[in-house]
């Protein structure tokens, strides 16, 4: 199967699982429930679940485990987007071509939807059906997910990003910021899969985490490049918005050519990490290519 | 030791643990770190940790386990206050006599501080030192905490509260709202302690949860009464704010006398639940008396 078809398949299956997850909640707070579903199924590319699936299949972990990890990761990802879009944060009205959660609902509901989605992620890791082996690792899975999502990961990255907006920072600082803001959760996808793999060489785990780290950064560099070069229609959000709000980006620090070189470097490093693995990494190579060449 | 002295002792010890927790975080995002500490140590009464301690001592669970549960619960409680105070939610500028988090810092930082505190709670349950027995129960502890904090608990309760503001609801609806908004987390204190108790009769556990449920509601009824009867200075926030913003309260539904009767009824039911337990419940009786007679 081509990666694109596989991606489509994973996306459809996960969308259905996430819909079931929210539909199964009681109806006590219908507007909150609706906003959680909206945030979770608002046309996301499901890059993280695809990564979980590709690494999970490569390491032969059961479907159930892949699904639980993907659902939890997507709940964290969706919550972070809802909160990042709020007026007090990035103040975005469009996301993937649709109104952001606080526009489609209201600000209070969006704050609560984000809050409840974060909690939901930990519920999934703690309780969603998983294999007997993964069941023994739930606490460690929670620990990995919390480290990636919290102060020392995504939340911290967003705080550093806000503090750096309108100021000039160094390339190292920008890389660190994105390693926390985007990279931590992508790396957690791989770490969580590794945690539920029964036998895994620690060197190979390290290579996989290095790979995730490089594609996490590459993803962000490509995001920054697209913000400069793509059309608003393709992006599903206003182009040039990074510059307009004084965000530090790879093109603003390195120029567009410099950013493209940085992207090529990260691409190579990701492929090198894969090279060291004794598995068939064809899909992961294709995934890496997709991450750096995507047009939206 | 009198309950008041014990409470003071618990409060000091927990404040110190929470301070250590935040101080031990890396300095990558100093403003976020500072706001998390501010939210966590902003003069909270630590009623939930006191409850954890009293039930924990009664059931003879180790100090470490009590501490981890208390810290996690306080992280969830603190995050919920920070978000509830936001302009888009209850728009409160004072909490316990001090500026609320978004006033002391800014709105974006307050949103992130709440987010990161929620994550921190799950980190604690997953990783903080606990006894060997409790260590085996971490996933279940996460599940209980997440259920109490999320859509089917605290978050859902807050959403129902927002939806009901300015509308007339029934007593049953008001009770349900507070069972989710306040009661769920108080009950989780007891459930989490029960989970790490090596031997516990399921009837006794049920009585303890019933007790927690009753004091949870009683706490809220007393809160509503104080909003009408106490001074702004004693409350540490503007008095009469519930009425001013069209909140449904026990006094608004039942009148002040009716609310006091409801409080007396809940008080009795809480004591009855304790009566069925084969333990020395003197401290828990004193705690119940404190909850219904507190003046702020």
How many angstroms separate the CA of residue A228 from the nearest CA in chain B?
Answer: 26
- For the stretch A21-30, contacts whose Cβ atoms lie closer than 8 Å and that sit 24 or more positions apart, written own/partner, are A21/A71, A21/A120, A21/A124, A25/B151, A25/B152, A26/B152, A28/B152, A28/B156, A28/B160, A28/B176, A28/B180, A29/B151, A29/B155, A29/B156, A29/B159, A29/B160, A29/B163
For residue A229, give both structure tokens: 């070069």
| Cα gap A36→A40, rounded to integer Å | 6
Confirm if B101 and B110 have CB atoms less than 8 A apart.
yes
Bridge-based pairing state of the strands A94-95 and B98-99: unpaired
Contact A82, A101 (CB under 8 A): yes
Q: Which pLDDT belongs to residue A246?
A: 81
Compute mean pLDDT per 10 residues along chain B, 296 residues long, and list them. 94 96 96 98 91 97 98 98 95 91 97 98 98 98 98 96 91 94 95 96 96 94 90 63 82 94 96 96 96 82
Q: How many domains does chain A have?
A: 1
> Tell me, what's the pLDDT at B232?
60
Whole-angstrom distance, CA of residue B144 vs CA of residue B137:
11
Structure confidence at residue B153 (pLDDT):
97
Q: How far apart are the first and last CA of chain B?
A: 23
Q: How far apart are CA B265 and CA A210, in angstroms?
A: 61
- Point out the residue among B86, B123, B158 whose CB comes nearest to the CB of A143: B123
Q: Are A48 and A185 in contact (CB under 8 A)?
A: yes
Residue the block writes with tokens 């913003």: B245
- What tens digit of pLDDT does each residue of A32-48 get? 999 999 999 987 889 99
Using alpha carbons, list the distances in angstroms from residue B176 to B183, B217, B295: 9, 9, 25
Nearest-CA distance from B36 to chain A in Å?
9
Q: Give the pLDDT score at B100.
A: 96
Residues paired with residue A99 on neighbouring β-strands, in sequence order: A94
Spatial CA neighbour of A195 closest among A72, A14, A42: A72
Chain B residue numbers with beta carbons less than 8 Å from the beta carbon of A151 are 25, 29, 32-33, 36, 116, 119-120
> How far is it, in rounded angstroms, from Cα B283 to Cα B285?
5
Point out the residues of chain A with pLDDT beneath 70.
Answer: 231-240
Is B151's CB within 8 Å of A108's CB? no
Helices (H), chain A: 3-23, 30-40, 47-58, 63-84, 101-104, 107-127, 132-135, 138-149, 154-164, 171-178, 184-195, 202-229, 232-235, 241-244, 250-275, 282-293
Angstroms from B167 CA to nearest CA on chain A: 15
Q: How many CB atoms neighbour CB B231 within 10 A? A: 10
CATH at B176: 1.10.600.10
- The residue behind tokens 């049920």 is B206
Residue ranges making up the domain that contains B47: 3-293
User: Going by C-beta distance under 8 Å and a sequence separation of 6 or more, which residues neighbour residue A239?
Assistant: A227, A228, A230, A231, A232
DSSP state of A133: H
Contact residues on chain B for A176, CB-CB shorter than 8 A: 28
* Structure-block tokens of residue A78: 């969706």
């Amino acid at each position: 199967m081509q990666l694109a078809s596989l991606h489509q398949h994973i996306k459809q299956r996960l969308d259905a699982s996430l819909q079931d997850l929210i539909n199964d909640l009681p109806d006590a707070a219908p507007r909150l429930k609706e906003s959680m579903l909206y945030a979770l199924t608002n046309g996301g590319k499901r890059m993280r679940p695809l990564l979980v699936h590709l690494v999970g299949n490569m390491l032969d972990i059961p479907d159930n485990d892949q699904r639980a990890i993907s659902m939890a990761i997507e709940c964290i990802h969706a919550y972070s987007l809802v909160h990042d879009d709020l007026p007090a944060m990035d103040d975005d009205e469009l996301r993937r071509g649709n109104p952001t959660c606080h526009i489609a609902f209201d600000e209070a509901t969006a704050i609560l939807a984000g809050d409840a989605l974060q909690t939901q992620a930990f519920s999934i890791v703690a309780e969603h059906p998983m294999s007997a082996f993964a069941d023994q690792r739930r606490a460690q899975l929670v620990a990995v997910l919390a480290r990636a999502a919290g102060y020392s990961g995504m939340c911290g990255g967003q705080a550093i990003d806000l503090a750096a907006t309108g100021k000039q920072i160094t390339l190292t600082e920008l890389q660190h910021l994105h390693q926390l803001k985007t990279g931590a959760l992508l790396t957690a996808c791989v770490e969580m899969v590794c945690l539920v793999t029964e036998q895994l060489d620690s060197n190979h785990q390290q290579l996989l985490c290095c790979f995730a780290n490089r594609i996490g950064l590459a993803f962000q560099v490509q995001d920054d490049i697209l913000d400069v070069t793509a059309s608003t229609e393709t992006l599903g959000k206003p182009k040039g918005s990074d510059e307009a709000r004084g965000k530090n980006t790879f093109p603003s620090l390195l120029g567009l050519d410099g950013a493209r070189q940085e992207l090529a470097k990260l691409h190579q490093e990701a492929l090198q990490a894969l090279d060291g693995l004794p598995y068939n990494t064809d899909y992961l190579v294709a995934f890496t290519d997709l991450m750096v060449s995507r047009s939206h």
